[in-house]
Amino acid sequence: MSELDRQILKTIIDTAHDHYFVVNADGQVMDVSPGAAAVYGMTREELCAANVHELEASGVLKPSISLEVLRTGRTLQMMQLTATGRRVVAQAHPVFVAGKLECVVSRSMDLTDIQLLQQEYAVLQQRFSDHLRRNSRGGELSGVSQAESDWTTAGAGQSVHDTEQYAQSQAEQRQREQSAREQAECEDAALELGELQVRSPVMREIALLLKRVAPTNATVLMLGESGVGKTAFAHQLHRWSQRADGPFIEVNCGAIPESLFESEMFGYQAGAFTGAGNRGKAGLMEQAEGGTLFLDEIGELPLATQTKLLKVIQDGMITRLGDTTTRRADFRLVVATNQDLAARVEQGQFRLDLYYRINVLPVSLPPLRERREDIPALIEQHLSRLNQRHGRRKLLDASLWPILMRQDWLGNIRELENWLERAWLSAPSDVIDSDSVKTLLNTCSTNNANGLGNSFGFSNDKSNGIGVTESFTTADNSHSPNALSEPAAEGAVAMPIPKLGPNETLKEGLARIEAQWLREMAAELPSTYAIAKRAGISQPSVVRKLKR
């Protein structure tokens, strides 16, 4: 390379808006653009003296795209999180000489700046619209509003003044945003969030609220759809509380049969019933002494059991089955449900007095589709867990990030984690790319069974080998005496109305039909979560009903 070529290349790197890294085959940084220093939190000299193995280990690059290219020999694009908290999209290319990989050239673009520019542009648009509205009341001047004329006239002193005011307001806005980010970082550090991934403002407010009430013994009611993180927040509430050194006992109210619930929760004395142990057993409430008792899916509790739980809450005492002595109930109660308890009270399925007892501090966790800011951190966290669990390091290709961000994730965090694990296991290489997703979608029994549907942007046409569609046909039942008298809705399947057995009550008949439907869905769908989603009931209810 001539000296002129070197100077041209150096000028390009030094003046480029994007940030460039040049790394040799050993991972040693050969050169970086000056702007990279601010993004990665190190001086140019420090970066040039470092190795990308060290930068990744110290968290400066999370992950290092150059290392991945050195490992795979492929051009890659991915999202990176820097030590300064900035999110960048990076693209890296291998450079081969005589078939040998000699170095990697990577280019990164700071998405944080783009987001700020978008915000400033939106503010400018709004300001311009407001200016037009304020000044257009005097009428139109030759088809152009007076406000538009004032705004666009270069010599108008008011326009210049407005421009200066706007520039000043934007500088102040950027300062406020920076202060807000710093305050949020301080709050996150003070919160000691552990494994909780809280990035959205609404979830940060919820975390701050729980941190404030953690030292008390107040009962907390966690509300929200299945998979939004109610259990994780209950664990964190326990860790923040003065009972953190005590046990955390989790009980899924929908998974314990009604006949066993009392003995499991309250315990029993020796010989209390047939099959009871010789020495008796402490119930889950006793095991939670000095700690936290977390009752998940409390809306699934039968009414008879609700009465017994209410008595414990009111009296603060526990009595084992077959025992006459009482024990003090010393635990902090946290409950959770994905149901509308107020509606269940109106339907007579949940006791009003118990509802008031547990509804001391209701905390509603929004679904993932309403706090998409949390998705990137959740993806990074679960990918890290999968890498550790399986002893192999895989990364998500940058092309998938916008697709995953657009997905509604009807199963919330649980569905996101499930999808990531299947994608991790399906990917043949160390990079999970769109080809892996297409292969994954082909494994679905129906196109929407797992809630992914078409939001991934792939066609459902069988001819392209992507997606799976099924068509259902049914015999003509219009002449059957049991056929529905009203025409079926478009796309619906006409079904005969089943008859009750000779000695079968309505309740027994409904239970039989329900069991048949659940068995049919169990044969078609991949999991009890998919069955619950299809049937419109909770997953613990599906488990309990299938066991009957």
Comparing 88-92, 129-133, 454-458, the range with the smallest average pLDDT is 454-458
> Does residue 211 share a domain with residue 359?
yes
Q: What is the CATH number of the domain that holds 84?
A: 3.30.450.20
pLDDT at 478: 36
- DSSP letters spanning 52-105: HHHHHHTTSEES-HHHHHHHH-S-EEEEEEETTS-EEEEEEEEEEETTEEEEEE
Classify residue 477: in a domain, yes or no.
Answer: no
Between 333 and 528, residue with greater pLDDT: 333
Residue type (1 letter), 362: P
> Does residue 208 share a domain with residue 281?
yes
> Does residue 66 share a domain with residue 33?
yes
Classify residue 119: in a domain, yes or no.
Answer: no
Last residue of one domain, picked from the residues 191, 223, 239: 191
Q: With pLDDT > 90 as the criterion, what percentage of the chain qualifies?
A: 24
Classify residue 209: in a domain, yes or no.
Answer: yes
Classify residue 264: in a domain, yes or no.
Answer: yes
Mean model confidence pLDDT for the chain? 76
**What interhelical angle do 303-315 and 258-266 show, nearest 10?**
20
> Does residue 176 share a domain with residue 73?
no
Rg over alpha carbons for the chain, rounded to the nearest Å, is 31
> Does residue 386 share a domain with residue 316?
no
> Does residue 345 share a domain with residue 398?
no
Tokens coding 416: 């996101």
Please tell me whether residue 276 adopts helix, strand or coil conformation.
coil
pLDDT at 117: 61
- The answer on pLDDT for 482 being more than 60 is no
Give the helix/strand (H/E) hosting 418. helix 412-426
Classify residue 145: in a domain, yes or no.
Answer: no
- pLDDT tens-place string over residues 2-61: 677 777 777 777 777 677 889 999 889 988 888 777 777 788 888 888 888 888 887 787
> Does residue 514 share a domain with residue 398?
no
Classify residue 118: in a domain, yes or no.
Answer: no
Between 419 and 149, residue with greater pLDDT: 419
**How do 331-337 and 291-296 pair as beta strands?**
parallel
> Does residue 406 share a domain with residue 358?
no
> Does residue 358 share a domain with residue 411?
no
> Does residue 282 share a domain with residue 210?
yes
Mean of pLDDT values over 519-539 = 79
Classify residue 18: in a domain, yes or no.
Answer: yes
The domain containing residue 429 runs over which residues? 369-464
Pick the closest to residue 73 from 91, 96, 98, 56 (CA basis): 96
Q: What is the CATH number of the domain that holds 460?
A: 1.10.8.60
Name the domain count of the chain: 5
Give me the phi and psi of 78, to 5 degrees please: -160, 170
> Does residue 19 share a domain with residue 102?
yes
Mean of pLDDT values over 346-370 = 93
> Does residue 205 share a domain with residue 336?
yes
Whole-angstrom distance, CA of residue 20 vs CA of residue 547: 60
Q: What is the CATH number of the domain that holds 342?
A: 3.40.50.300
- The answer on pLDDT for 350 being more than 60 is yes
Counting beta carbons within 10 angstroms of the beta carbon of residue 548, is it exposed (0 to 12), middle (13 to 18) or buried (19 or more)? exposed
Classify residue 86: in a domain, yes or no.
Answer: yes
- The answer on pLDDT for 138 being more than 60 is no
pLDDT band for position 396 (50/70/90)?
Answer: confident
Tally of CB atoms within 10 A around 263: 19
Last residue of one domain, picked from the residues 67, 89, 113: 113
CA dist 391 → 72, 383, 384, 387, 422 (Å): 17, 12, 10, 6, 16
Last residue of one domain, picked from the residues 404, 434, 464: 464
